[in-house]
Amino acid sequence: MEVFKYNKPIVSFMENAKKFGIFSLVLVVLSLGLLFTKGLNYGIDFAGGTVIQVKYKGDAPIEEVRNLLHENKAYSGASVTFFGSNDEIAIRTKSTSSDVDADVSDEVRQLLQGTGEYEIRGVDMVGPAVGDELRTQGLMAMVLSIIGILLYLSFRFEWRFALASVVALIHDVTIAMGMLALFQIDVNLPILAAILTILGYSLNDTVIVFDRIREGIRTIKSPELGDVIDESVTRTLSRTTLTSLTTFFVVLTLYLFGGEILKGFSFTLLVGVVVGTYSSIFVASPVLMWLKFSIVEFREKEAAALKREKEKEKMRAQFEQGTI
């Protein structure tokens, strides 16, 4: 089966680059707006607090639980929501306790007595110190991976490629975080993992397109970068779409079947896959063009590098044949 025919005409992506640029800019600005107004809803991993998951036999008496907790001064700020189904609730409170033998979960367990037959299925309690530490570590992880990837790409391509891919990356992560703010999803450790995965994934996509552009610069006659990009992007369109689809579908199964705990994680990834695919074509490549990347210059440099590479290859071939 072939959806993208080989001899289909080359799509003029770069002619419309400005339109997509504006569209992306609007999305990014909206996301930033959301991040600054609504803000991220930090979950207990980063903000500290306690989440208690309670499953009832039959429907959970959510109103009764709410009233019970709100009557108690210590838990007046607690939120009680259904968790995945009608018989399961999650109680979230800012309170934590440092006592080993008597903590928030024990108190809540006492409070809930008489609300029906229930089972405490899970308790997560993160003290404020740990939350701070995790947040610092999370930020460090993000910054370090961006730096690492930037260095690697500068080394493998050219600094404009690296910069363009990082612009696309920031675009993706900002929009993904904007969506987290929009839907007020609890930002916990798995979300951080998802964001870092988006980081890797978005770059993965961009690198594939850039690799083709790099190749196109050598093989395509036109000295216009726009033409080279158009042809290269058209050639990778099939791959980009297919891989994005397989990834999208597995993440979708994770979202649909993976259970309540992985919902936020897979949602973030879903956003990331869509935005990452879009940005590798409509953000990274135009930015490369706008950075005034010069084909002629690059060809000269590449020619020199190619010569070295060829020599190396020859050596390798000789080595494999055992002549050295």
Least spacing, CB of residue 30 vs another protein, in Å: 26
Structure tokens at 131: 């939350």
Q: Which is nearer to another protein, 16 or 85 (CB)?
A: 85
The footprint of another protein on residues 45-104 (CB under 8 A) is 53, 55, 97-103
Residue count, binding to another protein (CB under 8 A): 80
Least spacing, CB of residue 157 vs another protein, in Å: 8
Bridge-partner residues for 85, per DSSP?
83
203 interacts with another protein by CB under 8 A: yes
321 interacts with another protein by CB under 8 A: no
Least spacing, CB of residue 87 vs another protein, in Å: 12
Of the candidate residues 74, 94, 258, 289, the single one contacting another protein (CB under 8 A): 258
Q: Kindly report the three-state secondary structure assignment for every residue of the chain.
A: CCCCCCCCCCCCCHHHHHHHHHHHHHHHHHHHHHHHHCCCEECHHHHCEEEEEEEECCCCCHHHHHHHHHHCHHHCCCEEEEECEEEEEEEEECCCCCCCCCCHHHHHHHHHCCCCCEEEEEEEEECHHHHHHHHHHHHHHHHHHHHHHHHHHHHHCCHHHHHHHHHHHHHHHHHHHHHHHHCCCEECHHHHHHHHHHHHHHHHHHHHHHHHHHHHHHHCCCCCHHHHHHHHHHHHHHHHHHHHHHHHHHHHHHHHHCCHHHHHHHHHHHHHHHHHHHHHHHHHHHHHHHCCCCHHHHHHHHHHHHHHHHHHHHHHHHHHHCCC
Least spacing, CB of residue 105 vs another protein, in Å: 7
249 interacts with another protein by CB under 8 A: yes
Name the one range near another protein by CB under 8 A: 22-30, 60-68, 179-187, 246-254: 246-254
138 interacts with another protein by CB under 8 A: yes
190 interacts with another protein by CB under 8 A: yes
154 interacts with another protein by CB under 8 A: no
Q: Which is nearer to another protein, 64 or 103 (CB)?
A: 103
Name the one range near another protein by CB under 8 A: 68-76, 174-182, 249-257, 284-292: 249-257
Least spacing, CB of residue 255 vs another protein, in Å: 8
Q: Which is nearer to another protein, 143 or 304 (CB)?
A: 143
Closest by alpha carbon to 142, among 180, 197, 68, 79?
197
The footprint of another protein on residues 291-320 (CB under 8 A) is none
CA distance 81 to 185: 13
192 interacts with another protein by CB under 8 A: yes
Of the candidate residues 127, 170, 289, 302, the single one contacting another protein (CB under 8 A): 127
Of the candidate residues 24, 31, 247, 279, the single one contacting another protein (CB under 8 A): 247
The footprint of another protein on residues 4-43 (CB under 8 A) is 6-7
